[in-house]
Structure 1
Amino acid sequence: MKIAVVGAAGMAGSRVVAEAVRRGHEVTAVHRGTLPPLPSGALPVRADAVDRDRLTGLFRAVDAVVGATRPREGEEDAVGPTTAALLDAAVNAGRRILFIGGAGPLRTDADGLVVDDPRYVPARYRTIAAASVTQLRVCEAHAADWVYLSPPALLEPGSRLGTYRRGGTVLVTAPDGSSRISAEDLAVAVLDELEEPGDERHFGVGY
């Protein structure tokens, strides 16, 4: 499979690139800034995530697209326009796009949203969590063929265990109430979805 990863320089995107290459896929690593060292077999391509024409051309050359962009602190308002541009390019190219989003729009066990639950979203992270709610809403209003993968409350670099639990739109938590996954295992979930798509348009994962 040929896969384009937009946001390949980020924590999640770089792990998706590595996991895809590990599985033998051809990867186009789309980035705006400086890329970390790429695994052999990944092709770096510089492009802006809001350049619809450029992205449309890139997407037409692949089989699947992963949107792994994340705004810089203070630029959370860019999430909506960036998501819309990626969706437009996916439609123009006739490709499905998988977004690595945020936990914010998932529901909690109390049936509220994660973004509003201080157990999972401390006040200092609420702005970026709210941006993920906006991102999902933009997807829901668009005609593109999209799927939105929400990580658990805590996503950070770690080990690749190769295992995870897949949920629906409710936050995946451990028996002690924690909600976490490594970026490496999030990438495993992304590639599993690309290789064998599920029925849900929005789902979460976690340990």
Structure 2
Amino acid sequence: MSWRLIMRITVFGATGEVGSRVVAEALSRGHEVVAVMRNPAGVAAVPSAAEVRIGDAMNLDDVVTLSAGQDLVITATRPVAGQEHELPEITSVLLQALAHNGVRLLVVGGASTLLVPDADGLTLHETPDFPTELRPIAQACADQLALCRTETVADWTYLSPPAQLVPGERTGTYRAGLDELLTCSDGESAISTEDFAVALLDEAERPAHRRARFTVVAA
């Protein structure tokens, strides 16, 4: 008979494109979820099985309060265009708070710093064809990962998506790697947000990348 340890999980950015899938996946596995959002208008979009709390991941007191007694915090926050600098700021607050209370952190990161195969050591956002409009968020994600990698007290894991992360089908399967951009059998580098959430919760339940970054792609 299969069994699973029930975890108490706080999700920041719970109503976003990734965060909402993370909440749904965690609930489907029987975990207790605290869904955190800044705007109360998003409450209706959260499944009734989750506990909704209003809070700001940039506020140290909020993070300490909302993570107290939890087994895990997942951050899936994404700033709006023009506010990309908030991403590393949020990560800094989370790392500080969770280093204080000993709660593990899973970070939904970016693909920008993944090494591109056969590109002479270039990362994705260093390649010539990388879209100009995406450079601010790519740099913010690079700064976010750098912050994590300098942290030696908090227990963190950083998950980078492939080049394309879009809503789609939950297959429950994926391939994992470390610092190199992965591609599917058709040459695309993509995964659905649903399967990305599967990978994140698999890591939550069976930690394999403590204080490290990993990445996934559709199987």
Please report the TM-score for the alignment, with normalisation by the length of structure 2: 0.90
% identical equivalent positions: 46
- One-letter amino acid of the structure 1 residue matched with residue 184 of structure 2: A
**Structure 1 unaligned blocks of 5 or more:** none
Aligned-partner Cα distance in 2 for 1:43–1:131:
30
Residue range with higher mean Cα deviation, 169-178 or 26-35: 169-178
Residue range with higher mean Cα deviation, 42-51 or 166-175: 166-175
Identify which of 124, 145, 164 aligns with 1:154: 164
Aligned-partner Cα distance in 2 for 1:205–1:99:
14
State yes or no: 1:49 paired with 2:60.
no
Alpha-carbon offset, residue 142 of structure 1: 2.0
State yes or no: 1:58 paired with 2:69.
no
**Structure 2 unaligned blocks of 5 or more:** 1-6
- State whether residues 60 and 94 of structure 1, in contact with CA within 8 Å, keep that contact through their aligned partners in structure 2: no
Residue range with higher mean Cα deviation, 19-28 or 174-183: 174-183
- State whether residues 157 and 209 of structure 2, in contact with CA within 8 Å, keep that contact through their aligned partners in structure 1: no
State yes or no: 1:24 paired with 2:24.
no
Corresponding position of 2:205: 195
Aligned-partner Cα distance in 2 for 1:123–1:183:
24
State yes or no: 1:139 paired with 2:145.
no
Counterpart mapping for 1:33-48 below 5 A: 33=39, 34-35=41-42, 37-48=45-56
State yes or no: 1:172 paired with 2:182.
yes
- What secondary structure does 1:76 align onto? coil
Q: 1:24 to 1:86 in 2, by over 3 A?
A: same
Alpha-carbon offset, residue 39 of structure 1: 2.0
- What secondary structure does 1:29 align onto? strand
State yes or no: 1:10 paired with 2:10.
no
Corresponding position of 2:75: 67
Greater C-alpha Rg: 2
RMSD: 1.3
State yes or no: 1:206 paired with 2:214.
no
Number of equivalenced pairs: 206
Aligned-partner Cα distance in 1 for 2:24–2:8:
14
